[in-house]
Every structure is written in C-alpha cells, then in structure tokens.
C-alpha cells in the first residue's frame, strides 16, 4: 500500500490538550482542600473536501475519566466536573455572493 499523498495528509488534523491542576491545600478556615488532577483532551479533525470550509471533528474530553474539581468553584464539594465525553461535530461555513450594488464606484 503506498504512503498517503500530501493532499490526503492535509485533510486531517488533531491534537492533544493536557490540563493539570495541583493540589490546593493552603486554605482558609472556611475552605476545604482540593485534590489535583490531570485531564487529557484529544480532537481529530477531517476536511472531507479540499478547499472547502466543511470540517468534521471527533473529540474526546477527559480521555481517562478522572474525577476533577475546580478549587474556585462553590460546587466543588458537591459536584465534580463532567467526566469523559465523546463528540462528533460538523462545522459548515458558507458565504453569500457579494453584491456589486453595495460597492462604491471605481475611481479613475
């Protein structure tokens, strides 16, 4: 099987995002400590038609399904952040034809 061509590789994109929060244990009398966490997100993009603005995205947030609580949230003791989720989305962009009636006359 031959390797993919440059145009086929340009149709795909992606990345990895890592968010780390350290333990928060220097707290005041009315706060509770918060454990640290590391969340990993991974999107994969595909542009099915070259030169078109249509992009399909498959993304996974909180890939390892960690329990995470933001220290600054008033709900941190009651509700952690949302766990793993997988999303498939489509981004479609279109533009309306430009009207010549709105353009100023050309200078000579």
Walk along the chain (108 residues) in steps of 10 and give the mean pLDDT of each run: 57 95 94 96 91 89 96 92 95 71 66
Residue 56, SS3 per DSSP: strand
Query: How many CB atoms neighbour CB 73 within 10 A?
Result: 13
Domain chopping of the chain, boundaries: 6-93
Q: Identify the three-state secondary structure at position 102.
A: helix
Which sign, positive or negative, has the C-alpha torsion 85, 63, 33, 28?
negative
In this predicted model, what pLDDT tens digit does every residue of 82-91 receive, in sequence order? 999 999 999 9
**Spatial CA neighbour of 18 closest among 36, 1, 42:** 42
Q: What pLDDT, on the 0 to 100 scale, is given for residue 90?
A: 95
Predicted pLDDT at 41? 97
For position 43, what pLDDT does the model report? 96
């Amino acid at each position: 099987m031959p390797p993919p061509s440059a145009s086929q590789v340009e149709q795909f994109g992606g990345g990895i995002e890592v968010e780390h929060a350290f333990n928060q244990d220097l707290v005041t009398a009315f706060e509770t400590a918060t454990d640290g966490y590391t969340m990993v997100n991974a999107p994969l993009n595909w542009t099915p038609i070259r030169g078109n603005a249509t992009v399909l995205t498959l993304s996974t947030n909180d890939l390892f399904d960690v329990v995470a609580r933001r220290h600054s949230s008033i709900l941190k003791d009651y509700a952690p952040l949302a766990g793993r989720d997988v999303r498939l989305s489509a981004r479609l962009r279109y533009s309306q034809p430009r009207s010549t009636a709105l353009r100023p006359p050309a200078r000579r």
